[in-house]
Chain A
Amino acid sequence: MTAQTLSQSLLPGEDLLDIDPNPQTAGRQARPLRFITCGSVDDGKSTLIGRLLWDTKAVKEDQAAALRRDSTGKQNELGLPDFALLLDGLQAEREQGITIDVAYRYFATDRRSFIVADTPGHVQYTRNMATGASTADLAVLLVDARSGILEQTRRHATIAAMMGIRQFVLAVNKIDLSNYDEAGFQTIARAFREIALSLGVRQVTAIPVSALKGENIVMRGDELMPWYSGPTLVEVLEKATQRTGQTTGFRLPVQRVSRPGEGFRGYQGTVAGGSIKPGDSVVVLPSGVEANVKAIVTYDLVRNAAVHGDAITLVLDRPVDVARGDMIAAIDQRPMTGRAFTARLVALSPDGVVPGKRYWLKAGSRRQRVLLRPTSQLDLSTGNWDDANFLPVNGIGVVELDFEDVAVFDSYETNRDTGAFILIDPETLNTVAGGMIDGKRSKSGRFDALPDADRATVTLPARLLEAFLKTEFARAHAGEIKVTGPEEVEGE
């Protein structure tokens, strides 16, 4: 078994962007790929990232010299500097020898450039991992070839999947210390695939690597691993897909209204879903007023189209009331509007998330008051969702949101930009949680992302039903599936 990629099929909203065979413009033909690395303390994560930077020549001579100066006697046996020192930028970290925050690293190959969110592996830093994962399209999970999958690996995979990452790379590191044992590697890879599938992640690539020796990171490790013919880590990264936000219709959260002079009124923002062209009909939410697009203005050109990610100024064909915080959306593919939603939340602040407190919620450019009530918390060691009414720091939970004014969202599953939010404590003004919308609640409290007719039906025997409903997969897809026991099916 050497083809390590389980599924190359693209998920909805994803697009294989790279490598245009006939480039029309100079430079790189893809957006930077953002990915996250996660591993336990001793898996060699710093060495892996250091190796990526070193072998792609992102470490400059003077930085290397400073490293050698700092790490007296701490060079490894290959005469390379101690990579951890390159990465742990803050003095507090150097003193304690641990990584305490998310750091961003940059490197590039001829084909693509990369932004790595380097996050700590300690369990108490779930919040940092969630932060790094929020913008990532891919997660590299590290395990030690000698110890295999740990509880920590499962935790990291769970958080990454929940934050919307749909591509995993399992880097089985220190393969040299396992005597390049193929059978051991395959066992670990199989176990990990099972975890990934249980989280709804189908794109999994497992790679045997030695970060220290640089095998299968940038350079191949064929000599000692003739049994592995899959891609190197960098090859997987170069070919990874990016979300393009096309699964929802056009979305423009309005950041500001531009009125520079008589006769011009434009709505400035970044397209958060779909695409738009002059003449298209749009609706302003939450007011519901309708209009048509007259022009798409940018500094360079008055454009004939704009797509997800473009920062534009939109001009409408009639005077309508639009303010910062409003959303301009496709008239025929509207987001959800309402006062009651269900979401998953990661608590980031030492105070946790308290029921009945009125927080500020910011989503896109919109900020509004919200009351929230935690209903369950994810137990990362079992993967079960247990009843809860409070979320401690680093806790992941399901909450019910109740707004004073109408809120506008897509589900996070369909659109990461318009389905995400942060919570701000009204007194400290700190960011205390990150949240992902699952769906809208109706008056009866029933969960309501898709109408029943559009949901896939999953039928399970009663003994499995309860356990399934507690899984991350069931949570993540709650709006898309309808779970029934066998009796109901028989009755239909």
Chain B
Amino acid sequence: MNVIEHGRGKPPLDPHLKALENEAIHIFREVAAEFERPVMLYSIGKDSSVLLHLALKAFHPGKLPFPLVHIDTGWKFPEMIAFRDQVVARHGLDLIAHTNPDGLRDNVTPFSHGSARYTDIMKTQALKQALDMGRYDAAFGGARRDEEASRAKERIYSFRTSDHAWDPRNQRPELWSIYNGMIHPGESVRAFPLSNWTEVDIWRYIQAEKIELVPLYFAERRKVLERDGMLIAAGDPRIALLPGEQVREEMVRFRTLGCIPLTGGVRSTATTLDEVIAELEIATVSERQGRAIDRDQAGSMEKKKREGYF
């Protein structure tokens, strides 16, 4: 068998990124070897793109020994879905897209139910359904500890009860790089190979490895409207203008990608990866600022995680 070399002519990674890459590959292999039914959560965003790239590296020259699950709320940017389908085709991936049928039936939207309930039904509950249907005992996610305060104490193997609940007081100690993958039937772990990466690391790695991204990450003249201090993409007919709001065109890019009405863009002129990184290195606002769900209430992320959110 001839082994393909994907990195011919590419300069080697700097030792910092190499160490992060090695750690992530180690985690991928360990989970794949110890669990019976692993799955990877794929959200199409930049962290997921890095996660997928690392997974391909970990199992090379073999294929991924697990499927991908995408939780589709029905409110993702059309560019995201198109990108997802391209990636799946290019790498021959096994992707399962899941939407909560109850939420679909009840026509649950961020407007009708509020962002908190919408997120619970269309993301948290949908995720639990997908994991239960596949009887997955381990799910890879792209969460990073630097994202948010309650994530700072997250383990690399995050233990979940049979209800998918996270109990911050009952997490297993994690020493060295020895991970305890033993669970009872029905229990599961969420595994986070990117735990020790920062936002800058993600961008530098994307640059060094030439990882393709959804174009929404780069600035472009886009139709936006301003709501609650956020610049929201306009154009989806389901987003009705409120009194006083108007659609205008601005140079905007997105630092994280989620559901259209809950994802705020930032004014930017960064149209290339170099420019995005340059902007980031002087940025004084963390990336989760664009996420409405984190601002619902204090300890918001911790609460969602206890309930089973990723």
Among B21, B60, B198, B302, which residue has its beta carbon within 8 angstroms of that of A89? B302
Assembly CA distance A392 to B6 (angstroms): 52
- Chain B positions within 8 Å of A60 at CB level: 283-286, 289
Stretch in A4-12, A283-291, A360-368 with 4+ CB within 8 Å of B: A360-368
Interchain CB contact under 8 A, A416 and B153: no
Interface residues, chain B, with chain A CB atoms under 8 Å away: 1, 3, 5-8, 10-22, 25-26, 29-30, 32-33, 56-63, 145-146, 148-153, 168-169, 171-178, 180, 182-184, 195-196, 198, 200-201, 204, 208, 283-286, 288-289, 298-299, 302
Interchain CB contact under 8 A, A269 and B14: no
Interchain CB contact under 8 A, B176 and A255: no
Interchain CB contact under 8 A, A429 and B180: yes
Interchain CB contact under 8 A, A103 and B184: no
Assembly CA distance A389 to B30 (angstroms): 34
Task: Report if A102 contacts B (CB, 8 A).
Answer: yes
Interchain CB contact under 8 A, A255 and B30: yes
Interchain CB contact under 8 A, B153 and A90: yes
- Chain A positions within 8 Å of B12 at CB level: 24-25
Interchain CB contact under 8 A, A262 and B1: yes
Q: How far is the CB of A259 from chain B (nearest CB, A)?
A: 8
Assembly CA distance A258 to B62 (angstroms): 7
Interchain CB contact under 8 A, A104 and B145: yes
Known contacts: A62-B286, A431-B172. The answer to whether A263 contacts B1 by CB under 8 A is yes
Within 8 A of B (CB), among A263-309: 263-264, 266, 268-270, 295, 297-302, 309
Assembly CA distance A262 to B17 (angstroms): 33
Among B1, B14, B284, which residue has its beta carbon within 8 angstroms of that of A28? B14
Known contacts: A90-B168, A256-B33. The answer to whether A26 contacts B14 by CB under 8 A is yes
Interchain CB contact under 8 A, B29 and A434: no
Q: Can you list 24 A-B pairs with a CB-CB distance of less than 8 A?
A: A25-B11, A25-B12, A26-B208, A27-B16, A27-B204, A29-B15, A30-B15, A60-B284, A60-B289, A61-B284, A62-B288, A90-B150, A90-B153, A90-B302, A91-B302, A94-B299, A127-B173, A256-B32, A262-B1, A268-B29, A299-B57, A364-B178, A416-B176, A420-B175
Interchain CB contact under 8 A, A365 and B298: no
Among B152, B153, B173, B289, which residue has its beta carbon within 8 angstroms of that of A348? B173
Q: A416-B176, A429-B182, A431-B180 are in contact. List 10 more A-B contacts (CB 8 A).
A: A24-B11, A127-B173, A255-B26, A256-B33, A260-B61, A264-B1, A270-B25, A299-B7, A365-B30, A429-B184
Which 4 pairs, one residue from A and one from B, show the smallest C-beta to C-beta distance? A300-B7, A89-B149, A27-B14, A260-B62
Q: Which of A28, A100, A101, A431 has the most CB of B within 10 A?
A: A431
Interchain CB contact under 8 A, B149 and A86: yes
The number of inter-chain residue pairs (CB within 8 angstroms) is 208
Q: How far is the CB of B298 from chain A (nearest CB, A)?
A: 7
Assembly CA distance A308 to B22 (angstroms): 10
Interchain CB contact under 8 A, B29 and A28: no
- Chain B positions within 8 Å of A27 at CB level: 13-14, 16-17, 204, 208
Task: Report if A105 contacts B (CB, 8 A).
Answer: yes
In the complex, which residue of chain B has the Cβ closest to the Cβ of A310? B22
- Chain B positions within 8 Å of A329 at CB level: none
Assembly CA distance A434 to B174 (angstroms): 9
Assembly CA distance A102 to B173 (angstroms): 9
Known contacts: A25-B12, A298-B57, A302-B5. The answer to whether A429 contacts B286 by CB under 8 A is no
Q: How far is the CB of A242 from chain B (nearest CB, A)?
A: 10
- Chain A positions within 8 Å of B14 at CB level: 23, 25-29
Q: How far is the CB of A307 from chain B (nearest CB, A)?
A: 10
- Chain A positions within 8 Å of B299 at CB level: 90-91, 94
Task: Report if A378 contacts B (CB, 8 A).
Answer: no
Q: How far is the CB of B263 from chain A (nearest CB, A)?
A: 15
In the complex, which residue of chain B has the Cβ closest to the Cβ of A260? B62
Task: Report if A168 contacts B (CB, 8 A).
Answer: no
Q: How far is the CB of B93 from chain A (nearest CB, A)?
A: 15
Known contacts: A90-B150, A103-B152, A431-B172. The answer to whether A264 contacts B61 by CB under 8 A is yes
Assembly CA distance A262 to B62 (angstroms): 11
Interchain CB contact under 8 A, A25 and B26: no
Assembly CA distance A302 to B25 (angstroms): 17
In the complex, which residue of chain A has the Cβ closest to the Cβ of B33? A256
Within 8 A of B (CB), among A24-76: 24-32, 57, 60-63, 70
Assembly CA distance A26 to B175 (angstroms): 32
Q: How far is the CB of B18 from chain A (nearest CB, A)?
A: 8
Interchain CB contact under 8 A, A32 and B19: yes
In the complex, which residue of chain B has the Cβ closest to the Cβ of A94? B299
Q: How far is the CB of A345 from chain B (nearest CB, A)?
A: 11
Q: How far is the CB of A40 from chain B (nearest CB, A)?
A: 21
- Chain B positions within 8 Å of A362 at CB level: 178, 180
Task: Report if A382 contacts B (CB, 8 A).
Answer: no
Task: Report if A227 contacts B (CB, 8 A).
Answer: no
Task: Report if A178 contacts B (CB, 8 A).
Answer: no
- Chain B positions within 8 Å of A301 at CB level: 5, 7-8
- Chain A positions within 8 Å of B19 at CB level: 31-32, 309
Assembly CA distance A86 to B15 (angstroms): 29
Interchain CB contact under 8 A, A32 and B196: yes
Task: Report if A225 contacts B (CB, 8 A).
Answer: no
Q: How far is the CB of B262 from chain A (nearest CB, A)?
A: 16
Interchain CB contact under 8 A, B29 and A311: yes
Task: Report if A130 contacts B (CB, 8 A).
Answer: yes
Interchain CB contact under 8 A, A311 and B146: no
Q: How far is the CB of A98 from chain B (nearest CB, A)?
A: 13
Assembly CA distance A363 to B61 (angstroms): 26
Assembly CA distance A301 to B18 (angstroms): 14
Q: How far is the CB of B228 from chain A (nearest CB, A)?
A: 14
